[in-house]
Amino acid sequence: MVKSNLVIVFLCICLLCCPESLLAQDMNAISAIPRVDVHSHVGSVGRMEHYVKVGEALKDQYGINLAVWIDLNFMRQSDGTEEEYLYAAGTRYKGRFLPCINDFKISDGLRYPPEELAKWQQKGIVGYKIWVGVSPLIDRPANDATFTKMEEIGMVGASIHISQPYPTSWCDDPVKFWEAHNAWERVLDRHPKLKVVNAHMLDHFNSDEQLDYLIYVLETYPNVHVDLGARFQQFNRMDRDKLRSFMIKYADRILFGTDIGGQPAEGKYRQVAESYYRAFQLLETDKVVKGGFFSGTETRGLALPAGVLEKIYYRNAVRLYPRVKDVLKNLGYDRND
């Protein structure tokens, strides 16, 4: 009896004196959360094995599971037929690459008419990527039939890119910046059931005031979500506490993404893995991190709770994109979702 009491006392002392070891345990649990990169530009069969090698480097170096890439560049860097891409993505790589039809130039109208969308969905396409940029063209009446069809069949608008960061060299004209956003709001008003992930935090991620507008959008349009692609380097442009509260409050609406593109070069897999690691550290720890996914200035991480990270890393993707749930399950990430 005395002995067991001593054991309990010893354990209590350990708990009081060793918060680091508890923290380490938590970080191990966080490392195990599978991650879906919803904003990637893979584009071809030949590149897939290089992305998988980046995933292996992350696993080897940090024990982190980068499981799935939503590929916004389906067939844009074609090195084979559609069938070859879909076979490689779906079968050879077990669904780890989930393709989106895409439209990177809408000045002459949307590339995919409504009558084609269901056919693409049946082939395994998980969303429709549209790049708009600093332009009000998304609001052209001719686009409405396609958006109506997407509402009907539940096809997600994947990383739809509206405007550009303002004020920067990407966009230094406030009138044009707002014209693009106002045009997008008019589309959302007409298509309330359209499920959307807007790219780059909707590019209202450059100041506390812009974050307030993003909050307004998320409050007004319940089917709008945002991805973090290429915005880790902007975390330090907002008040850290305000940004952290935002990420926690809107955890159901934020998805992990990087905007990775091209082919990770042989011999550079660890370097790319470190880019991912920096992005993860910014979300997971309160350490000062040396820049975002694409470098940038030193920024203190947000130390988000595990439940918030789970939503950002994969739960929201499971809810929004078809097939993600099954792919994760087949890869062995059976987390009772």
Binding interface with Zn ion (CB under 5 A):
259
Give the shortest CB-76-to-Zn ion separation in angstroms: 11
Closest CB to Zn ion among residues 30, 98 = 98
Q: Residue 300 in contact with residue 283, Cβ under 8 Å?
A: no
List the Cα angle 299/304/310 in 5-degree steps: 125
Give the shortest CB-268-to-Zn ion separation in angstroms: 20
Would you call 284 helix, strand, or coil by DSSP?
A: helix
Would you call 146 helix, strand, or coil by DSSP?
A: helix
Six token digits for residue 100:
């989106």
Helix axes 45-62, 269-284, angle to 10 degrees: 60
Closest CB to Zn ion among residues 259, 284 = 259
Q: Which residue is nearest to Zn ion (CB)?
A: 259
Q: Buried (b) or exposed (e) across 102-135, using 16+ Cβ within 10 A?
A: bbeebeeebebebeebeebbeebbbbbbbbbbbb
Give the shortest CB-258-to-Zn ion separation in angstroms: 9
Closest CB to Zn ion among residues 199, 302 = 199
Give the shortest CB-41-to-Zn ion separation in angstroms: 6
Closest CB to Zn ion among residues 62, 131 = 131
Give the shortest CB-229-to-Zn ion separation in angstroms: 6
Six token digits for residue 193:
């059931």
Q: What is the dihedral of CA 264, 265, 268, 269, to 10 degrees?
A: 40
Cα→Cα distances 268→255, 263, 264, Å:
26, 10, 7
Give the shortest CB-134-to-Zn ion separation in angstroms: 15
Closest CB to Zn ion among residues 30, 38 = 38
User: Which residue, 201, 116, 199, 111, is CA-closest to 155?
Assistant: 116
For CA atoms 112, 113, 114, 115, give the dihedral sign.
negative
Closest CB to Zn ion among residues 199, 320 = 199
Closest CB to Zn ion among residues 227, 310 = 227
Helices (H), the chain: 2-17, 19-31, 45-62, 82-87, 114-123, 144-153, 174-190, 208-220, 240-249, 269-284, 306-310, 316-320, 324-330
Closest CB to Zn ion among residues 73, 143 = 73
User: What is the Cα–Cα distance from 83 to 166, expressed in whole angstroms?
Assistant: 40
Give the shortest CB-159-to-Zn ion separation in angstroms: 6
Give the shortest CB-118-to-Zn ion separation in angstroms: 26
Q: Residue 90 in contact with residue 323, Cβ under 8 Å?
A: no
